A and B are shown apart, each in its own frame.
Chain A
Amino acid sequence: MFRSLATKAYSSTARCLKTNSGFPGALMNQRNMSKHSTETDEEFDARYEAYFNRKDIDGWELRKAMNDLTTMDLVPEPKLISAALRACRRVNDYALAVRYLEAIKYKCGNRVKEIYPYILQEIRPTLNELGISTPEEMGYDKPELALKNVDDIH
Chain B
Amino acid sequence: MALTRRAFTILKLTSNQSLCRLTRNASAHSKIGDREVVGFGFNGEASYVDRMDCPMPAVRFRSNSKEIQALKEKEKNDWKNLTLDEKKKLYRASFCQTFAEIEAPTGEWKSVVGVSLLGVSLALWIYIWMVKFVYAPLPKTCSEEAKAAQLQRMIDVRANPVYGLPSKWDYEKETWKS
Among A59, A106, A132, the residue within 8 A (CB) of B38 is: A59
Interface size for B (C-beta < 8 A) is: 33
Given A102-B99, A131-B78, 11 other A-B contacts at CB below 8 A? Answer: A60-B40, A66-B55, A67-B55, A89-B79, A92-B75, A94-B79, A94-B91, A131-B81, A140-B98, A140-B99, A143-B98
Among A92, A96, A141, the residue within 8 A (CB) of B56 is: A96
A99 CB-CB contact with B under 8 Å: yes
- List B contacts of A135 (CB < 8 A): 98-100
**A92 and B76 contacting across the interface, CB-CB below 8 Å:** yes
Smallest CB gap from B93: residue in A: A95
- List A contacts of B93 (CB < 8 A): 95
Smallest CB gap from B101: residue in A: A143
Query: For chain A residues 58-110, which have a beta carbon within 8 Å of chain B?
Result: 59-60, 63-64, 66-67, 70-71, 89, 92-96, 98-100, 102-103, 105-106
Stretch among B23-31, B82-90, B124-132, B140-148 lining the A interface: B82-90
**A-B contact number at CB 8 A:** 97
Q: Identify the A interface with B (CB < 8 A).
A: 59-60, 63-64, 66-67, 70-71, 89, 92-96, 98-100, 102-103, 105-106, 130-133, 135, 138, 140-147
Majority SS at the chain B contact face = loop
Query: For chain B residues 63-112, which have a beta carbon within 8 Å of chain A?
Result: 72, 75-76, 78-82, 84, 87-88, 90-91, 93-101, 104
A-B residue pairs in contact (CB < 8 Å), sample of 7: A60-B39, A63-B38, A63-B39, A67-B39, A94-B82, A103-B55, A144-B101
Cα(A146)–Cα(B75), bound, Å: 26
Smallest CB gap from A129: residue in B: B80
Q: Identify the B interface with A (CB < 8 A).
A: 38-42, 52-56, 72, 75-76, 78-82, 84, 87-88, 90-91, 93-101, 104
- List A contacts of B94 (CB < 8 A): 93, 95-96, 99
**A98 and B99 contacting across the interface, CB-CB below 8 Å:** no
**B53 and A70 contacting across the interface, CB-CB below 8 Å:** yes
**A71 and B91 contacting across the interface, CB-CB below 8 Å:** no
